Structure 1
């Protein structure tokens, strides 16, 4: 089992836990619990089992109370997070839940999805992806070996067949020659069947690995909430686009965009509405995306854009166009139908090639964003104007 299928294993693990809890709370368990007062002798012999039943029932009730208190949907994902938090079986989840409860006092369905996505991203390591690629290469090597073996077997069969035909032409006794021909043919047929079986098995395994690899890459490089590439994917894109821009002598600009007063949106309208605002802004930004413009969610309410073929000033105009579009939108809180305050974002833009390395350019764009916030928000600042 490869590391890239860890998210699937986690889901199966949750399913197994649910199944075990269901069995523990089934009629059989209830019958045993109901029989305890009437059969004290049986209770003594099965005291450990009885305690386990009580423990499971208590845990089930605690999880139900947790989901109800936070108005969470009864889904395997929410159930699993509640279980990991209440039992302490997953340190990362436990810390994340404690942090959000301290800050907000409540968690939402959208928050649970984000935490689950972050955990899956953490599980999909470069080493796991490399291991899967090695396995694919191994399968391809096996495939090549089988094809070589098949060709060699065919050559051997042909050579042997020619020798026997020579014997027939020379007038030797036909009966032994025909018997050997039949034996050769049967041997060739059997080898062919074996190779075909191995090829089919190899093909199935390769297809499964390919599917797992694609899922792992999506999990590792995409933001679960917005569907945009994440920070990890953006860093790889930045390296590729920088090399391409330098090779072709093209300009390259980067922009940081941050939703204004996003905490207030969450506090006023709830985190589910905040999640929808994030997705809406992501959709507006992604409209500018093409093979020379890349948009990603950098984290929280912050997005990053990369423009190859545009100067910093041109990129600034492009980002400002999206900002103006957003500022004219009138959004509605779906949960109560109330019209929301105008949603806006601030941005900072920098010329990547003006700095000694991409990290310095990102810092420059981030400083420009900070100053845009400081000077009233809902505006785009160009880093070059600030130096």
Structure 2
């Protein structure tokens, strides 16, 4: 019997034929191209088209965000950009509904309104308090790192000086001694490397100082009210804790005042939110005029401001706040957008003696209750809280 080396057996032929039929059948179901190269080309073409579509989508989105910010005369800030992104993409239903409601009512939104919206919508995200905590931790790490760099640089400098002296001594006795000559060369090489490390350490220290400066700027931004430029609520609460400790140690008086602009909603409704923002800035400026190292003023939120007087009794604080109230109420403000004269702008205030309460927060509540009573009894007045919790 003759046997053909390499010739397929009948069972192999049958198996091969079955494989071909299955492959053709599967190809017919999937609709794939006959050639692998064609399949790869088609895949690449689809991927390229999808990438181009995504790039065009992003470009259009950036353009839409820019148009939105300019249409509402909003500052180019991260908060405004983020809120615009949420609104235009529908990523945040709460933001979308709030903006639609304001646009239907007033036709336009403002920087101050966006800031308030962002604070409400993202209360559970990074807060000024958590940011400050992170900044404290980073600064602590930077201080440690700076100390290590300073120590390492000093050690490297001392080590380099010692090596230089050793190299000099070895050079004096190295004539004709190959081993000593190699040792001198090695030592000099180590000195050069030490100098390079020292240079790098100096550069790293400069970068660390620059980063610390940036962190300080970030800290100030986290403690400043965006609209008025005054310290914000968080900064004030930190100041309150410090002032309580200092006043108690020096046996000094410490009083707090809450000031709230009267009928502020009517100002916004009548003259628009841009004018309302300008009124807030104007009142903030009047209050800030009396501030010094013993009087601290902050925007507590909305149209409410808070003042802290060290060295003044509650009665003296009432007089100081009342002078500002009279100054504001006597002014004739004009809406610079249309030239219309505005109704009298005033504020009401409540004052409390901080040290008459066991907890500064209780004093804050007492001042707030006195403010509420001033509002109830006609507004444009200053009330003194009873010294009981």
TM range (shorter): 0.7 to 0.9
1:296·1:305 contact (CA, 8 Å) conserved in 2?
Answer: yes
Equivalence for 1:306: 308
Is the 1:252–1:353 Cα contact (8 Å) retained in structure 2? yes
Query: Does residue 196 in structure 1 map to residue 202 in structure 2?
Result: no
Equivalence for 2:148: 142
Matched, 1:73 2:78: no
Tell me if structure 2 keeps the 8 A contact 1:121–1:219: no
Supply the RMSD in Å over aligned alpha carbons: 3.5
Any stretches of 5+ residues in structure 2 without a counterpart? 1-44
| Shift of residue 144, structure 1, vs aligned partner | 2.5
Q: CA deviation at 1:225?
A: 0.3
CA apart distance, 1:133: 1.4
SS of match in other structure, 1:125: helix
1:185, 1:56 → 2: CA distance? Answer: 57
Give the Cα–Cα distance (whole angstroms) in 1 for the partners of residues 88 and 95 of structure 2.
10
Q: Name the CA distance, whole Å, in 2 between partners of 1:189 and 1:239.
A: 53
- 1:358 aligns with one of 351, 357, 360: 360
Gap runs ≥5 in structure 1: 1-42
1:355–1:178: structure 2 CA closer, same or farther, 3 Å change rule? same
2:41 paired residue number: none
Distance in 1 between residues matched to 2:378 and 2:223, nearest whole Å: 33
Contact preservation (8 Å) 1:114, 1:224: no
- For the structure 1 residues 359 and 151, does the alpha-carbon distance in structure 2 shift closer, same or farther, using more than 3 Å as the test? same
Higher relative contact order (CA 8 A, sep 6+): 1
Distance 2:184 2:59 in 1: 72
The 3 A distance-change label for structure 1 pair 329 and 63 is same
Q: Greater Rg, structure 1 or structure 2?
A: 2
Q: Deviations over 1:97-151 (max 9, x none)?
A: 3675587664224433555688697376234213321331242133133224224
Which position in structure 2 is the counterpart of 1:220? 222
Matches within 5 A, 1:107-256: 107-112=109-114, 115=117, 122=127, 125-154=131-160, 156-157=162-163, 160-161=166-167, 163-164=169-170, 168=172, 174-176=175-177, 181=184, 184-204=187-207, 206-256=208-258
Q: Check whether the contact 2:73–2:110 (CA below 8 A) recurs between aligned residues.
A: no
Q: Deviation at 1:230?
A: 0.5
How far did residue 323 of structure 1 move? 0.6
TM-superposed CA distance for 1:293, in Å, is 0.4
Distance 2:255 2:92 in 1: 41
3-state SS of the aligned residue for 2:386? helix
Moved more, 374-383 or 92-101: 92-101
Q: How many residues align?
A: 338
Name the CA shift for 1:130/1:303 in 2 (closer, same or farther; >3 Å).
same
> What is residue 284 of structure 2 aligned with on the other side?
282
Match of 2:10 in 1: none
Provide closer, same or farther for how the CA distance between residues 99 and 355 of structure 1 changes in structure 2, counting only shifts above 3 A.
farther
Name the CA shift for 1:222/1:62 in 2 (closer, same or farther; >3 Å). Answer: closer
> Is contact 1:121-1:220 (8 Å) kept?
no
TM-score (norm 1): 0.75
TM-score (ref. length: structure 2): 0.75
- Alpha carbons of 1:201 and 1:326: their partners in 2 closer, same or farther (altered >3 Å)? same
Aligned residue number for residue 4 of structure 1? none
- Taking the TM superposition and a 5 Å limit, the aligned residue runs for 1:322-333 are 322-333=324-335
1:380 aligns with 382
Aligned 1:19-34 pairs, distance under 5 A: none
